[in-house]
Structure 1
Amino acid sequence: MQFLVLSRRRTNQFSDADFEQLVPSEGAQARHLYSIGFTRQIWHRGDMPGACQVVEAKDEGEVHETLATLPLARAGMLDFEIVPLKPYAGFSLP
């Protein structure tokens, strides 16, 4: 099952320097999650600091567990919104 994940950095609680310390390990873990097929696509958000990604997991619990492996998430520096996705019905045959 696929999910849309919007993450937002908690910039009101943490400084740029706090984030910069974890960015290298965050990138390494993000690459790992992509390499194992969890992350299908990922972008930086254009409206605020954070990311938007499409992920693949058996259920929302697995999404939460896997996102928790990100260093910024472990440090409590991110908020997540997780949206389950369904196939678009407009492409089905009549």
Structure 2
Amino acid sequence: MQFLVISRRLTEKFADTDFEPMVPLEGARARELYSAGFTRQIWHRGDQPGACQIVEAEDIDAVRKNLATLPLAAAGMIDFDIIPLKPYAGFNP
């Protein structure tokens, strides 16, 4: 099953200097999740610090478990909206 994950850095609780040392670690873990087939596509957000990604997992609990391994999530510095996706019916006659 695929999910849309929208993340947002908690900039109201943490300063830019708090995020700086975490960014390389976050990128490394994101690459691991991509290599493992969990993350299918990922983008930086254009409106605020954070990312949007399409992920694939058996269920929402598996999504939460994988996202929790990201350093910013483990540090409580990021928030996620997780949206389950289903096929678009408009392409079926």
Q: TM-score, normalised by structure 2?
A: 0.98
Give the superposed CA RMSD: 0.5
Q: Which consecutive segments of 4 or more residues in structure 1 shift more than 2 A?
A: none
- The one-letter code sitting in structure 1 at the alignment partner of 2:64 is H
**2:59 alignment counterpart:** 59
**1:29 alignment counterpart:** 29
Unpaired segments ≥5 residues, structure 1:
none
- The one-letter code sitting in structure 2 at the alignment partner of 1:32 is E
Shift of 1:69: 0.2
Question: Over residues 35-74 of structure 1, what are the superposed CA-to-partner deviations in whole Å (9 max), with x where a residue is unaligned?
Answer: 0100000000011110000000000000000000000000
Unpaired segments ≥5 residues, structure 2:
none
**2:3 alignment counterpart:** 3
Identity %: 72
How is 1:1-94 mapped onto 2 (pairs within 5 angstroms)? 1-92=1-92, 94=93
Q: TM-score, normalised by structure 1?
A: 0.97
- The count of residues paired between Structure 1 and Structure 2 equals 93
